[in-house]
Homo-oligomer: A and B are copies of this chain.
Amino acid sequence: MKMSSKARYGLYVAVELAKNYQSGEHLNVSSLSQATGVSDKYLEQIIALMKKADIVLATRGANGGYILSDSPDRITVGQVLRAVENLEIVDCLHSECAQRGNCVAHNLWGRLYDNINSYLDTITLTQLAEDNI
């Protein structure tokens, strides 16, 4: 059970955007790429997922780039991670298992999933950026 690179890089991006939020300016992919050490083409895809989840806003064209859609103390690590990665630890979490109703672990997975998300949602991007965890 591993976090993907999208999850790890997604947090890097989120923290960079958090640090830049006050300025009101947009950061473009190449500056994010430089700050994080991740290729810009890969970052584009990751940021696209965050945008789809309404965590970041984008403007295209010259001087375009990205900015958080809200103050970093109102965006949680959980929101970011769920945007870029599927945290559902088993496929049958919200559907029916292959072992219809017979799966002894079904409730366990549900509780574990809730547990993970509850924790991740207690931490804001501001806290993460300040390493106040």
Contact = CB atoms under 8 A, between A and B. Distances in A.
A23 interface: no
Size class of the contact patch on chain A: 35 or more
Given A2-B89, A8-B90, A90-B8, A116 B112 contact: yes
Contact of A89 (B3, B12, B105): B3
A58 interface: no
Given A37-B99, A115-B119, A3 B107 contact: no
A109 to B, nearest CB: 7
A1 B85 contact: yes
Interface stretch (A25-33, A41-49, A65-73, A125-133): A125-133
27 contacts: A1-B1, A1-B3, A1-B85, A1-B86, A1-B89, A2-B86, A2-B90, A2-B91, A3-B89, A3-B109, A8-B90, A11-B104, A11-B108, A12-B104, A37-B99, A77-B108, A104-B129, A104-B131, A105-B128, A107-B131, A107-B133, A108-B123, A108-B128, A111-B133, A115-B115, A115-B116, A116-B116
